Amino acid sequence: MELLYDLHTHTIASGHAYSTIMENVRFAHEIGLKAYGFSDHAPALDGSTNELYFVNFRVIPREYKGMKVYAGVEANIMDFDGNLDIGGKIYERVDYIIASLHTLCIEPGSVDENMRAYIGAMSNPYVKIIGHPDDSRYPLDYEELAKQAVKHSVALELNNSSLNPDSVRKGARENILTLLKMCEKYGTYIICGTDAHIYTDIGDFSFAKELLKEAKFPEELVLNTGIKGLKYVINKNKYNKAVFEEEL
């Protein structure tokens, strides 16, 4: 299975990542990705950047040597109603929003509380991806999550970094297998992301591919397998409109 783009990556602006935007972009092009996106952590995560960083995304070129470039954000879900730590102009400037639960921003809750947090975030029309819903510290009802993702036209992420043996997330492998089963049952789209915090990890989906193969997951439900899948997760705005409307 060939995965053509990587949208969950970080730059030095996240505070705990180690490559610049251009180091990431050049490497993504070098390894043959058709599209690349960077999604730095939103301001509530300790050490990350500020609102102005995201508001100024209008200056980012949306193409590099024929490879599409997207400027996104990994927003933090801040409460069990699904409120995010961003809003206003950021919504208009970023090309996509990944909404995630991080222990540095919100303590894990019960299954019902965690589900309310995700469903609340998915109800935000700018949120297109739920990031790494695979951590046993945040227990979930994966069947309901898959159904709600279809209802809100949101993709669920298969996070390659979660499957790394060194990951701080708990129980990711078993949780993702359950998630994939539910996504297949309800026709829920998934998107693979590396969650790269250094440029050399961009496009390395080795753990994710292995699990997709093991689960015999339908390729047509993996958005990264076709560039047209970008249309499911990219928010059209005046900064990416010309690129978005091209034939993908």
Single-letter residue type at 73: V
Spatial separation of the C-alpha atoms in residues 76 and 59, rounded to whole Å: 24
Nearest CA-CA partner of 7 in 28, 22, 26: 28
Would you state the pLDDT for residue 242? 54
pTM as predicted: 0.96
Query: What value does the mean pLDDT of the chain take?
Result: 95
- CATH number of this structure's domain 5-244, picked from the four choices 3.40.630.30, 3.40.50.300, 3.30.2270.10, 3.20.20.140: 3.20.20.140
Cα distances (angstroms) measured from residue 97 to each of 45, 80, 236, 247? 15, 18, 12, 23
User: Buried b / exposed e across 172-196, counting CB within 10 Å, b at 16+?
Assistant: bbebbebbbebbbebebbbbbbbbb
Q: Taking the domains of the chain in order of start, what are their residue ranges?
A: 5-244
* CA 100, 164, 187, 95 torsion-angle sign: positive
Q: Is 133 exposed, middle or buried (CB count within 10 Å of its CB: 0-12, 13-18, 19+)?
A: buried
Contacts of 78 (CB under 8 A, 6+ apart): 44, 84, 85, 105, 106
> In the predicted model, is pLDDT for residue 47 greater than 70?
yes
> In the predicted model, is pLDDT for residue 248 greater than 60?
no
Residues 167-176 have a mean pLDDT of 96
Q: To 5 degrees, how large is the angle CA 167–CA 181–CA 164?
A: 15
Spatial separation of the C-alpha atoms in residues 10 and 193, rounded to whole Å: 11
Residues 157-171 have a mean pLDDT of 95
* Model pLDDT for residues 206-247, shown as the tens digit of each residue: 999 999 999 999 999 999 999 889 999 999 888 777 556 665
* Model pLDDT for residues 53-71, shown as the tens digit of each residue: 999 999 999 999 999 999 9
Q: To 5 degrees, how large is the angle CA 86–CA 175–CA 124?
A: 25
* Model pLDDT for residues 129-156, shown as the tens digit of each residue: 999 999 999 999 999 999 999 999 999 9
Nearest CA-CA partner of 152 in 175, 126, 174: 126
Would you state the pLDDT for residue 244? 61
> In the predicted model, is pLDDT for residue 109 greater than 90?
yes
> In the predicted model, is pLDDT for residue 3 greater than 70?
yes
Would you state the pLDDT for residue 246? 62
Would you state the pLDDT for residue 236? 87
What share of the chain has pLDDT > 70, as a percent?
A: 97
* Model pLDDT for residues 175-212, shown as the tens digit of each residue: 999 999 999 999 999 999 999 999 999 999 999 999 99
Residues 111-137 have a mean pLDDT of 98
Spatial separation of the C-alpha atoms in residues 210 and 216, rounded to whole Å: 10
Alpha helix positions (H), the chain: 21-30, 51-55, 89-93, 111-122, 142-151, 172-186, 206-215, 230-233, 241-244
Alpha helix positions (H), 45-110: 51-55, 89-93
